[in-house]
Amino acid sequence: MGGAIDSLAAFYSIQTVVLALLVLVGGWLVDRFNRRLLFSLTPLIAGVSSLLMAVAPNWTWLIPGMCLSLLGMSIGGPIFFSMTSDIAPREKRAAYFGYQAMAISICGIIGPLVGGFFFQFLDYRWFLGLGTVLSFGGSYLRSLLKDPREDPNFVPEGGRVERLPVGQGGARRGLMGDFLGNLREFGGWARVTPGVAAYLVLISLPAFSGKLLESYFTVYLNEVALILPASIGLLAAISGSAAIPANLWGGRAADAVGRRIAVPEAHVLSGLWMVTITLVSGFNPLAVVFVFDGLIHGGLFPSIDALNADLCPSQRRGTFNGVFRLLGVLVAVPAPAAGAWLWSHFGSGAPIRAAAVVTVLAGVLLLRLMPSLTRTRPSPASLGARSSPG
């Protein structure tokens, strides 16, 4: 669409800033309103976004559709995290996140193959149009699902939370008051949970690496490794295929051996995988590397969501997930510009190698932090509420 490397950096920088403005709102909406309604609305938003992008005449006109897509993403992430955390027993939580990741991996096989075919042989606008149709269908199917919180007998982990009566801090706060109140509750939780502040900083560092890869990885494969779009889609499908069995055993293994071991290990292995990408060329060697990508991310990364859920009070997981994602977004803000500078001054592989260094460093520091990280149930004062067992 006429964009150069600098245009790509500008587009992803705008995307990151907009996401930073929306993730807190999305997490708060999940805790404040009906989760099933929001769950069914997110693909509807994605469908409208795809439609706007399909009719965009140039890359700058992609920005409105991108902003709408980010609104759906800011709501969808906390909903998946919150609902899966409520459904899963604590001792099997990583396995449940693995099952969720397995379903996403199946989409990761089909989507890149279809997308690569459309981009190479047809037109990307047809692909976006297909995405609109699928999103609208997904919205209807999601409306048929049930939220665990709709069960009158459901008791969240740690007991129910009741608002204090008016005159004791329980006055109706309104939308903005409730939003700001949830942020204060997060601060209360963070203060009473040893090690959580350092954990959030370290677990957010790889977001910088992720944004570097998002911005330049496909460009590197296409322009440097000379991999055609359809073949890039096939590589992603190979990774997704390897991730499916890895999701099944990886989550269970993390529950058995401990998520505090699996989380640092995931980051170290992921960084080593990034370095390997820059050392090989040709489709067949890259296919082998992408198999390991599926095994690493599929087998180990569900434990990150499980550990985050262990640390978060059940009643505010949407808001806490929004804060967690905001930190990642803020860390990622300089990544596109940094990647453009690294590409120009140190070569096309420099952004990927920089991503690897940051990810491995985060994994090593997380490993050192884990012994001091303990889960502390928040006090009623930190939640602005009164806790009861049911």
Q: What is the pLDDT of residue 139?
A: 79
- pTM of whole model > 0.75? no
Distance CA 293, CA 299 (A): 10
Mean pLDDT of the region 92-106: 82
Distance CA 183, CA 173 (A): 13
Residue 288's Cα: distance from chain center in Å? 25
How is 43-80 classified by DSSP, letter by letter? Answer: HHHHHHHHHHHHT-SSGGGHHHHHHHHHHHHHHHHHHH
Distance CA 374, CA 194 (A): 6
Distance CA 54, CA 33 (A): 31
Q: What is the pLDDT of residue 116?
A: 66
Q: What is the pLDDT of residue 16?
A: 67
Query: Cα(first)–Cα(last) distance of the chain, in Å?
Result: 57
Distance CA 4, CA 69 (A): 23
The proportion of the chain whose per-residue pLDDT surpasses 70, expressed as a percent, equals 80
pLDDT in tens, 171-192: 445 667 777 777 777 777 777 7
When the pLDDT of each residue in the chain is averaged and rounded to a whole number, the result is 76
Contact present, 266 and 304 (Cβ < 8 Å): yes
- Domains recognised in the chain with CATH numbers: 5-147+182-371 (1.20.1250.20)
Q: What is the pLDDT of residue 173?
A: 56
Rg (CA), the chain: 21
Distance CA 263, CA 158 (A): 24
Contact present, 102 and 247 (Cβ < 8 Å): yes
pLDDT in tens, 47-71: 787 777 777 776 677 777 777 777 7
Mean pLDDT of the region 268-274: 90
Using alpha carbons, select from 329, 323, 324 the residue that is nearest to residue 304. 324
pLDDT in tens, 4-20: 555 666 666 677 677 77
3-state secondary structure of 386: strand
Q: Dig out the tokens for 360 from the structure.
A: 């491995």
